[in-house]
Amino acid sequence: MATSWNDTVDELHRLLSAVTFTDRAGAVLDVEAGFARWTEEGMALRERRRTAFLIGNGASASMASHFAADLAKNAHVHTEVFTDLSLITAISNDMGYEHVYAEPLKRRACRGDMLIAISSSGRSPNILSAAAVARAAEMTVVTLSAMSPENPLRRQGDLNIHLACRTYGEAETAHAAVLHHWMDRMAVDAEA
């Protein structure tokens, strides 16, 4: 399906303009209120010297690593990602890939930490498993998903961000824009 550059830009504009935020109960939040709440949670995380854990698969894993670095450098938030190849392969081999994030999270997460779970489909078993561990540990859970609005990840967070994207490219591009906007808000606050 070939489209022009302008069509792609128009579609991304439409998708980003229609981003939705919901809370744990599924209530829809105003977009600005959603970003404000996420920023407040992030600032509280920094003040309490807690950790933001970021997870995802494939391009979302790269995004998790990218934003962990940006948050640490620019917003002064302690971050962690589980990208060590030995850890990933050991857990995958011994326990199954669905535990690749949940198992280290069980050992490292503390009450008051934050999990940022990125999944284009919102259906990845390893991401859903980690979200369950985070909730049990009384962490703040923020989800970023796309595709179907009925995806199960969208019901797992204290704050759920969804974009009605049809393709992984759209979802990944839109998630990056959302994360950059939040990180830039956090970085401005860190400079104040």
pLDDT, one tens digit per residue, over 153-187 is: 999 999 999 999 999 999 999 999 999 999 999 98
Q: What is the pLDDT of residues 47-101, one digit of tens each?
A: 999 999 999 999 999 999 999 999 999 999 999 999 999 999 999 999 999 999 9
Asked if residue 64 lies in contact with residue 56, where contact means CB atoms within 8 angstroms, the answer is: yes
Tokens of 56: 């995802």
Which pLDDT belongs to residue 188?
76
CB neighbour list of residue 81: distance below 8 Å, 6 or more residues apart: 53, 54, 55, 61, 64, 65, 68
Q: What is the DSSP letter of 152?
A: G
* Whether the predicted pLDDT of 189 surpasses 80: no
On average, the pLDDT of the chain sits at 95
Give the span between the Cα atoms of 39 and 125, in whole angstroms: 27
Q: 59 versus 190: which is more confidently predicted?
A: 59
- What average pLDDT does the segment 110-119 reach? 98
**Average pLDDT, stretch 25-31?**
97
Task: Give the dihedral of Cα atoms 182, 189, 39, 161; nearest 10 deg.
Answer: 0
113: left (phi over 0), alpha (psi -120 to 50) or beta: beta
- Tell me, what's the pLDDT at 2? 56
Name the superfamily (CATH) of residues 29-191. Glucose-6-phosphate isomerase like protein; domain 1 (3.40.50.10490)
What distance in Å separates the CA atoms of residue 112 and residue 22, rounded to the nearest whole number? 20
- For the residues 10-34, what does the mean pLDDT come to? 97
Which residues pair with residue 161 across a beta bridge? 21, 144
d(CA 115, CA 134): 7
Give the per-residue pLDDT at 1: 52
Q: What is the pTM of this model?
A: 0.96
